[in-house]
Amino acid sequence: MTILMPALMAAMFILPAYFMSQDDTKIRTIAVYDGSSILLGQLESNDYTKYKFIPEDEYNKIKDNLKATDFYAMLVIQPNVLNTKTVQLISTSNIPFDLKNQIQNKIRSVIEKEKMAEVIKQTAIPDLEARIAATKTSISVNTIKLGEGGEAKKSSTEIGMILGYIFGFVIYMFILLYGQMVMQGVMEEKQSRIVEVIISSVKPFELMMGKIIGIAMVGLTQLAIWIILGIAIIAGAKGMMPGAQHAGSAQEIMAQAQVANQTPAQLDKMQDILSMLGSVNFPLIIGCFIFFFIGGYLLYSSLFAAVGSAVDAVEDAQQFMMPIMMPIILAILVMMSAIKNPEGSTAFWFSIIPFTSPVVMMARIPFGVPAWQLALSMLLLVITFVGMVWAAGKIYRTGILMYGKKASWKELGKWLTYKS
């Protein structure tokens, strides 16, 4: 392990970086309807993102049946884009952050060139420098997600990223925190030799599972409190919104906004945020979060329990801890790539592999994941944690009564072959 560990550590950082650099190879074709005619022929395609301009008569046909077409998304540019500085990007799934950013930068560049050309046409203008500075334009890309029935809802790539970070990182922290609690508990019982008294009444496997499940209940209770508080905060925010109770006329909503010391622009912004939050499938996210938390916890806590039973002191556990910690640390590194490109091959494979799927899959779910991928990830996680619990039980049964001898990986392999 002394020679192998540095190589493993280097591979853990180098391989994800390599996969990320090779990741975004999916070719996406985007339909572009330009009502302003400003961007016609101005959006240049690259190797992986193709732009196809469509006429007005095809616009509604494609919008109403986007899922049945070969287009990944549709970019809608209204005639008054120079005034609104806003375009719409319509898709059947949440748009990756990098793609949204790429489109935003391209449109901003084209519009700035258009404005610059208009200014240059005018000569002998005293405030020419100020006018040129005014050509700098910020463009907002509003992402629209189409539901199964064709209904359009505002979505937010940024909200998907935030949720991906939060849920992925929380699972990472909880697995490490509660997994190490299991290991610490096993080591304390072994060092105090109280385990010898306990196993006279229960089987070693039952003792290990009782400890794992007991600590899992503590974690689930804490999660339940957080979820209830989160729901209460969101519900309270909606209830405090002016017009949240469908006050009726625009005048009434404006009056409520003034009473709340909010400008109509601020009110619109808050309503947009709540509308975007409403497009997020929170029941699915919370349900998957609970499943992947339990599955990931059972998988890693059984390994931590096996390590705790095999050693006599914390210092001896280090040689076994690193191989267990590496996959979960790797998952956090890959999660950064998955949030930026949830449809990439790196995000897909690491969300399927059971040792990394609890973190990486939770980072992808807010963006929308095909049902078969979610089901496959869950199935493999269940199969793997059942196998790991069985293997950990074999090691635990022998290790808890082994004193004064430093275990090695070879020794642990022998313990797996011992018959009951």
Q: Where are the domains of the chain?
A: 19-155, 159-417
Nearest partner of 216 among 174, 253, 248, 258, judged by Cα: 174
Percentages helix, strand, coil for the chain (3-state, rounded to 5) are 65, 10, 25
Side-chain half-sphere CA neighbours of 132 within 13 A = 9
Question: b/e for 113-147, b at 16 or more Cβ within 10 A?
Answer: ebbeeebeeeeeeeeeeebeeebebebebbbbbbe
Q: What is the dihedral of CA 54, 59, 63, 64, to 10 degrees?
A: -130
How would you classify the pairing of strands 140-146 and 152-155?
antiparallel
* CA distances from residue 344 to 242, 355, 362, 365, 372 in whole angstroms, order as listed: 41, 19, 15, 13, 16
Count of C-beta atoms within a 10 Å radius of residue 386: 13
Closest CA to 207 of 291, 295, 302: 302
* CATH of region 19-155, choose from 3.40.190.10, 3.30.1200.10, 3.40.1390.20, 3.40.50.970: 3.40.190.10
pLDDT of residue 269: 57
Buried b (16+ CB within 10 A) or exposed e, 184-223: ebbbebbeeeebeeebeeeebbebbbebbeebbeebeeeb
Distance CA 361, CA 347 (A): 8
CB atoms within 10 A of CB 182: 25
In the block, residue with structure tokens 């884009």: 81
Q: Decide: 89 and 95 in contact? Cβ < 8 Å.
A: yes
Q: How far apart are CA 182 and CA 309, in angstroms?
A: 10
The confidence score (pLDDT) of residue 150 equals 55
Q: What is the pLDDT of residue 127?
A: 65
Question: Residue 192: enclosing H or E segment and its boundaries?
Answer: helix 157-192
Which of 42, 63, 59, 60 is closest to 51 using CA atoms?
Answer: 42
The pLDDT value given to residue 60:
79
pLDDT digit string (tens) for the chain, length 420 residues: 555 556 655 665 566 655 555 555 677 888 888 888 877 777 888 777 888 888 888 887 887 788 778 888 888 888 888 777 888 888 877 777 777 888 888 888 888 777 777 777 766 566 665 666 666 666 666 666 665 555 555 566 677 778 888 888 888 888 888 888 888 888 888 777 787 777 778 887 788 888 888 888 888 888 788 878 877 876 776 566 554 444 444 444 445 545 455 555 555 556 555 555 666 777 888 888 889 988 999 899 888 888 888 877 666 677 778 788 888 888 888 888 788 778 778 888 899 999 999 999 988 888 888 889 999 999 999 999 888 888 888 888 777 777 766 777 777 777 777 765
C-alpha angle 180-383-309 in degrees, rounded to nearest 5: 30
pTM of the predicted structure, to 2 decimals:
0.69
Helix (H, G, I), strand (E, B) or coil at 31: strand
What does the alpha-carbon distance between residue 293 and residue 307 come to, in Å, rounded to a whole number? Answer: 21
pLDDT on residue 247:
43
* C-alpha closest to that of 355 among 84, 12, 5, 106: 12
Separation CA 245–CA 231 (nearest Å)? 18
pLDDT score at 151 = 58
Measure the CA–CA gap between 362 and 369, rounded to whole angstroms.
Answer: 10
